[in-house]
Amino acid sequence: MLKEEILKEFQKIVGDENIDDGEVTTNTYAYNWCVEFVNYLANKDPIPFSSIPKAIILPSTTEEVQKIVQLCNKYDIQFKAQSTGLGPWNQPSTDNCVILDLRRMNKIVKIDVKNLYVVVEPYVSGAQIQVEVMKFGLNIHMPGAGPMASALASHTSMCGPGFTSPQTGHSARNVLGTEWVLPTGKILRLGSLGLKKESDWYSGDGPGPSLRGIMRGWVGTKSGLGVFTRVAMKLFPYPCNTKYIAKGHSPLYDFHLPDFIRAYLLDCRNFKHLEKSLLRIEEEEIAFICSHMSSFAVMAIFSYSLESLMDKIAIGSMKKPLVIVIAARTKREFDYKQKVMNLIMDELNLTNIIGSKYEPKSLFYAECLRANLGYHGFIATGGFQSAKGQCDTAALCLNTERKNIPLKQKYIEKGVIANDFGEGAWMTSYESGHYFHMEVPTLFDQTNAESVKGIAEYMEESNQMDLVKHLGTPFFIEGDELHDEWGPHLMNYHIWLRKIKETFDPNGISDPGFYISSKKGDV
Amino acid sequence: MEEEEYQKMIKRCVRCSVCKWIPQVQIKSQKYASGCPAIDIYNFHPYSGGGKIIIALAYEMGRIKPTEELRDIVYKCTACGNCAVACKYMNTLEPLEIIMKLREKLVNTGCGPMPQQQAYIEAVKKVNNPYNEPHEKRTDWIPDDVTLDPNAKILYFVGCTSSYRRKEMAIATARIMNEAGVSFNILQNDEFCCGSPILRIGDTTTFEEILNKNLDIIESRGIETVVFSCAGCYDTFKVDYPLSRKFDFEVKHTVELFDELIESEQLKLTDNVPIIVTYHDPCHLGRNAERYEDWDGDVVPLMPLVSINIPPKPKRTGSKGIYDAPRKILKKIPGLKLLEMERIQEYAYCCGAGAGVKSAFPEMALKTANMRIEEAEDSGADFLVSACPFCSTNLQDGINDKKSKLKYFDISEILLMALGLEPEKLKQATAEVL
Domain harbouring B124, CATH code: 3.40.50.1860
* Per-chain mean pLDDT for chain B: 95
Chain A residues touching residue B24 (CB < 8 angstroms):
127, 146-148, 370, 372
Q: Give B433's pLDDT tier (boundaries 50, 70, 90).
A: very low
Rounded average pLDDT over A72-89: 97
The predicted pLDDT at position B423 comes to: 61
The predicted pLDDT at position A491 comes to: 92
Query: How far apart are alpha carbons A179 and A200 in whole angstroms?
Result: 11
Is B374 among the domain residues?
no
Query: How far apart are alpha carbons B82 and A431 in whole angstroms?
Result: 37
Q: Are B356 and B201 in contact (CB under 8 A)?
A: yes
Rounded average pLDDT over B356-367: 97
Its domain, for residue A130, covers: 105-237
Out of B23, B45, B308, the one facing A306 most closely (by C-beta) is B308
Q: Are B36 and B83 in contact (CB under 8 A)?
A: yes
The answer to whether residues B51 and B125 belong to one domain is no
- Percentage of chain B surpassing pLDDT 70? 97
The answer to whether residues A109 and A232 belong to one domain is yes
| Coil vs helix vs strand at A518 | coil
Pairing of strands A246-247, A261-268: unpaired
Highest mean pLDDT among A228-232, A310-314, A487-491, B165-169: A228-232
Q: Are A308 and A257 in contact (CB under 8 A)?
A: no
* Per-chain mean pLDDT for chain A: 93
Indicate whether B425 pLDDT > 80.
no
Q: Are A446 and A48 in contact (CB under 8 A)?
A: yes
Q: Across B124-203, where does the E strand assignment appear? A: 154-157, 184-185
The answer to whether residues B139 and B86 belong to one domain is no
Residues in chain B: 434
**8 Å CB contact of A417 and B13:** no
Query: How far apart are alpha carbons B74 and A260 in whole angstroms?
Result: 48
The answer to whether residues B75 and B102 belong to one domain is yes
The predicted pLDDT at position A317 comes to: 82
Out of B14, B28, B58, the one facing A28 most closely (by C-beta) is B58
Name residue A119's beta-bridge partners: A110, A232
The answer to whether residues A121 and A226 belong to one domain is yes
Rounded average pLDDT over B339-354: 98
**Is B35 an interface residue toward A (CB < 8 Å)?**
no
Preferred mutation among A16, A19, A25 to probe B, highest tally of B CBs within 10 A: A25
Query: How far apart are alpha carbons B23 and A366 in whole angstroms?
Result: 12
Helix axes A479-486, A493-504, angle to 10 degrees: 140
**Is B34 an interface residue toward A (CB < 8 Å)?**
no
The answer to whether residues A184 and A218 belong to one domain is yes
Of the CA atoms within 13 Å of residue A271, those in its CB half-sphere come to 14
**8 Å CB contact of B57 and A48:** yes
CA-nearest of A238, A206, A247 to A329 is A238
Is B194 among the domain residues?
yes
Query: How far apart are alpha carbons A456 and A250 in whole angstroms?
Result: 35
Highest mean pLDDT among A61-65, A160-164, A372-376, A380-384: A61-65
Residue A186 identity: K
CA A486, distance to chain mean position in Å, is: 22
The answer to whether residues A114 and A232 belong to one domain is yes
Q: Give B430's pLDDT tier (boundaries 50, 70, 90).
A: very low
Query: How far apart are alpha carbons B105 and B59 in whole angstroms?
Result: 10
**8 Å CB contact of B67 and A29:** no
Q: Give A523's pLDDT tier (boundaries 50, 70, 90).
A: very low
* Domain total of chain B: 2
**Is B292 an interface residue toward A (CB < 8 Å)?**
no
Of all residues in chain A, the one with the smallest CA distance to B311 is: A307
Indicate whether B427 pLDDT > 70.
no
The answer to whether residues A97 and A205 belong to one domain is no
CA-nearest of A307, A415, A379 to B308 is A307
- What 8-state DSSP symbol labels residue B181? T
**Is A449 an interface residue toward B (CB < 8 Å)?**
no
**Is B21 an interface residue toward A (CB < 8 Å)?**
yes
The CATH code of the domain that includes A303 is 3.40.462.40
Indicate whether B434 pLDDT > 50.
no
Residues in chain A: 523
Helix axes B49-60, B68-75, angle to 10 degrees: 150
- What 8-state DSSP symbol labels residue B137? G
Helix axes A394-413, A449-468, angle to 10 degrees: 140
Chain B residues touching residue A18 (CB < 8 angstroms):
43
**8 Å CB contact of A25 and B46:** yes
Domain C-terminal end among A322, A345, A376: A376
Indicate whether B272 pLDDT > 70.
yes
The answer to whether residues B124 and B75 belong to one domain is no
Query: How far apart are alpha carbons A22 and A6 in whole angstroms?
Result: 15
Out of B69, B303, B315, the one facing A22 most closely (by C-beta) is B69
Its domain, for residue B1, covers: 1-112
The answer to whether residues A179 and A251 belong to one domain is no
The predicted pLDDT at position A189 comes to: 95
The answer to whether residues B108 and B162 belong to one domain is no
Of all residues in chain B, the one with the smallest CA distance to A26 is: B46
The answer to whether residues B47 and B186 belong to one domain is no
Q: Are A357 and A319 in contact (CB under 8 A)?
A: no
Rounded average pLDDT over A168-193: 95
Is B6 among the domain residues?
yes
Query: How far apart are alpha carbons A481 and A499 in whole angstroms?
Result: 16
The answer to whether residues B90 and B198 belong to one domain is no
Indicate whether A285 pLDDT > 90.
yes
Domain C-terminal end among A348, A376, A404: A376
Query: How far apart are alpha carbons A183 and A224 in whole angstroms?
Result: 9
Of all residues in chain A, the one with the smallest CA distance to B52 is: A28
The CATH code of the domain that includes A98 is 3.30.43.10
CA-nearest of A313, A302, A307 to B310 is A307
Indicate whether B117 pLDDT > 50.
yes
Preferred mutation among A25, A27, A28, A306 to probe B, highest tally of B CBs within 10 A: A28
**Is A85 an interface residue toward B (CB < 8 Å)?**
yes
Report ipTM for this prediction.
Answer: 0.96
The CATH code of the domain that includes A205 is 3.30.465.10
Domain C-terminal end among B58, B78, B112: B112
Query: How far apart are alpha carbons A381 and B278 in whole angstroms?
Result: 41
CA-nearest of B300, B307, B301, B304 to A412 is B304
The answer to whether residues A124 and A211 belong to one domain is yes
Rounded average pLDDT over B186-202: 96
In angstroms, the separation between the Cα of residue B195 and the nearest Cα of chain A is 29
Least confident of A204-208, A292-296, B417-421: A204-208
Rounded average pLDDT over A215-244: 96
Q: Reduced to 3 DSSP states, what percent helix, strand and coil does chain A have, rounded to the nearest 5? A: 40, 20, 40
- Percentage of chain A surpassing pLDDT 70? 99
Between positions 329 and 348 of B, the ones with CB within 8 A of A are: 345-347
The answer to whether residues B7 and B108 belong to one domain is yes
The answer to whether residues B179 and B163 belong to one domain is yes
Is B242 among the domain residues?
yes
Is B365 among the domain residues?
no
Of all residues in chain A, the one with the smallest CA distance to B31 is: A128
Helix axes B204-220, B115-127, angle to 10 degrees: 30
Out of B12, B23, B29, the one facing A131 most closely (by C-beta) is B29
C-beta neighbour count of B362 within 10 angstroms:
15
Out of A20, A108, A383, the one facing B44 most closely (by C-beta) is A20
Name residue A436's beta-bridge partners: A392, A429
Domain C-terminal end among B87, B112, B137: B112
**8 Å CB contact of B11 and A307:** no
Q: Reduced to 3 DSSP states, what percent helix, strand and coil does chain B have, rounded to the nearest 5? A: 50, 10, 40
Query: How far apart are alpha carbons A284 and A340 in whole angstroms?
Result: 8
Torsion of CA B200, B204, B208, B210, to 10 degrees: -50
**8 Å CB contact of B12 and A128:** no
CA B58, distance to chain mean position in Å, is: 29
Q: What is the pLDDT of residues B124-161, one digit of tens each?
A: 999 999 999 999 999 999 999 999 999 999 999 999 99
Rounded average pLDDT over B289-303: 91
CA-nearest of A318, A317, A322, A340 to A277 is A322
Between positions 27 and 66 of A, the ones with CB within 8 A of B are: 27-29, 31-33, 47-49, 56, 58
Q: Across A11-65, where does the E strand assignment appear? A: 19-20, 55-57
The answer to whether residues A229 and A287 belong to one domain is no
Pairing of strands A97-101, A108-112: unpaired
| Coil vs helix vs strand at B383 | strand
**Is B202 an interface residue toward A (CB < 8 Å)?**
no
Chain A residues touching residue B58 (CB < 8 angstroms):
24, 27-28, 31, 49
The answer to whether residues A176 and A210 belong to one domain is yes
Is B277 among the domain residues?
no
The predicted pLDDT at position B428 comes to: 57
Question: Sign of the CA dihedral B331, B283, B354, B365?
Answer: negative
Q: Residue A209 burial by CB count (10 A; 0-12/13-18/19+): exposed, middle or buried?
A: middle
The answer to whether residues A416 and A455 belong to one domain is yes
The predicted pLDDT at position B432 comes to: 36
CA-nearest of A237, A367, A347, A254 to A302 is A367
Indicate whether B86 pLDDT > 90.
yes
The answer to whether residues B257 and B130 belong to one domain is yes
The answer to whether residues B128 and B12 belong to one domain is no
The answer to whether residues A81 and A111 belong to one domain is no
CB pairs under 8 A between A and B: 192
Is B273 among the domain residues?
no
Is B17 among the domain residues?
yes
Q: Give A385's pLDDT tier (boundaries 50, 70, 90).
A: confident
* Domain total of chain A: 5
CA-nearest of A52, A288, A424 to B63 is A52
Domain C-terminal end among A102, A122, A147: A102
| Coil vs helix vs strand at B49 | helix
Domain C-terminal end among B218, B246, B263: B263
Indicate whether B426 pLDDT > 70.
no
Preferred mutation among B44, B287, B300 to probe A, highest tally of A CBs within 10 A: B44
